[in-house]
Amino acid sequence: MGLQNFYYRFLGSRMLIGIIFAAFQVFFLWKIVAEYHSVFLAGMLATIYLAVSMVASIPIGHLIDRVNSTWVSLFSSAISLSGTLFLIFGTQLTLVYASAAVLALGMTMKGDSFSAIMKKHLPEDQFLNGNSTSQAGSYISTLSGTVLGGMAIIYFSNYLPYILIILALVSLTASRPMNEAPTLDAKTSAEKEFASAIGFFRKILGFIAVAFILNGLFESLDVYSSGLFHLVLRASPVYYTAFVASISFGGIGGSWLATKLKGKADGATIISILVLCYAPIFLILGFSKSPFIDVILGLIVGALLSIINIPLQTRLMKAIPRNIYGKVMAFLRIFLSGSTPGMAAVLSFVSIFLQVDTILIYIGIIMFPVAALSFSVIPKFYGLGNGDLETGSSPQAD
């Protein structure tokens, strides 16, 4: 049974916002490094995005549990549109940072609302297909945005703001709301909802702790990619764009593979081994002096991310009770991304004293013991299953 039409409409709206954010990030990460010769100033874009995402997560999660999530999706497109309008007035650093903050809010709200739409409106037996398609869509939008941002660097930098505005308008049009069954008893207090969400969260705390550290270390790819290719490898923007795009290509392939495997790779030991593979990848990135090899490594990183994330996301979607879904996902976002705003600032600061390639080698070494902990925490996460968790109410079709 195929996914329903409403799914593709809201997915398309989310993908357009993803294209906007990816193009914005690729273009201005390169522009800031090229104009200011500072990885620190470029890294602040990632810090701003992650900080806004963390601060906004709980309010957004509470809003999703309380109101129609498709209306939240519509509002997120409107916010993203307002973020693109900042760029009409110029591309000074303060305006770029302000635009990044508003776009981060719209992107966070769009992603969380789309996840809730899947949970509330798709039948449970379509969760794996929905997550695989969603993951592939995320990488396609990131890839499209990366190509758009890279081409804008070389060919049409003055027209990029207007292209982003048009994309935001189309996303707004595609976010037409639909009816949604209420998920909460009107008498349920916010305190009880948060207590239930925290209770669920405690069951997966070990798993989240490992992901917390790994996500922080992974932030180095965003912070250092432009500096690695521009300052260390002395490569052209084409290689930098290809590296960022390669992660998306790998992710698309990994999403397809995860669907074809249909759970055959969904085992605690297999997932743990795949997580451990990240450590040598970062070591090779640090030692490699070839932009081409780094692009190949980007493909592997993207494929691993999809193959690991899709089964984990599907298990979470099935396990989290429908009436507290927004809040649980908000807590997860904060803890999974919690290390990254500070880590982005730390990585930017460290780049003042050390070469980017040297830092990547240190990150690879640190990843070995951290990733090894996944052999302990992932089996416990898998042991939760669905049996000891409350199930949500039946999804409602469009």
Three-class DSSP category at 250: helix
Q: Rounded distance, CA 300 to CA 277, Å?
A: 10
Lowest mean pLDDT among 266-280, 295-309, 322-336, 364-378: 322-336
Total-model pTM:
0.70
Nearest to 165 by CA among 16, 30, 53, 42: 16
pLDDT at 397: 39
Q: Determine the average pLDDT of the residues in 356-376.
A: 86
Rounded to 10 deg, the angle between the 356-372 and 205-227 helix axes is: 160
pLDDT at 390: 42
Q: Determine the average pLDDT of the residues in 140-162.
A: 86
Instruction: Give the Å distances, CA to CA, from 151 to 24, 55, 170.
Output: 12, 33, 21
Encode pLDDT of 386-397 as tens digits: 433 443 333 343
Residues 6+ apart with CB under 8 A from 9: 174, 176
Contact between residue 338 and residue 212 where contact means Cβ atoms under 8 Å apart: yes
Asked if residue 168 has pLDDT above 90, the reply is yes
Contact between residue 314 and residue 125 where contact means Cβ atoms under 8 Å apart: no
Three-class DSSP category at 393: coil
Encode pLDDT of 288-347 as tens digits: 888 888 889 888 988 888 888 888 877 777 777 777 777 777 777 777 666 666 676 677
Question: Given pLDDT bands bounded at 50, 70 and 90, which one contains residue 156?
Answer: confident
Q: Rounded distance, CA 73 to CA 56, Å?
A: 15
Question: Given pLDDT bands bounded at 50, 70 and 90, which one contains residue 33?
Answer: confident
Contact between residue 43 and residue 143 where contact means Cβ atoms under 8 Å apart: no
Q: Determine the average pLDDT of the residues in 194-203.
A: 76
pLDDT at 393: 37
Question: Given pLDDT bands bounded at 50, 70 and 90, which one contains residue 211?
Answer: confident
Asked if residue 7 has pLDDT above 50, the reply is yes
What share of the chain has pLDDT > 70, as a percent? 89
What share of the chain has pLDDT > 90, as a percent? 10
Encode pLDDT of 61-103 as tens digits: 878 887 888 888 899 999 999 988 988 887 788 888 999 999 9
- For the chain, domains (ranges, CATH) are 9-176+189-384 (1.20.1250.20)
Contact between residue 176 and residue 9 where contact means Cβ atoms under 8 Å apart: yes
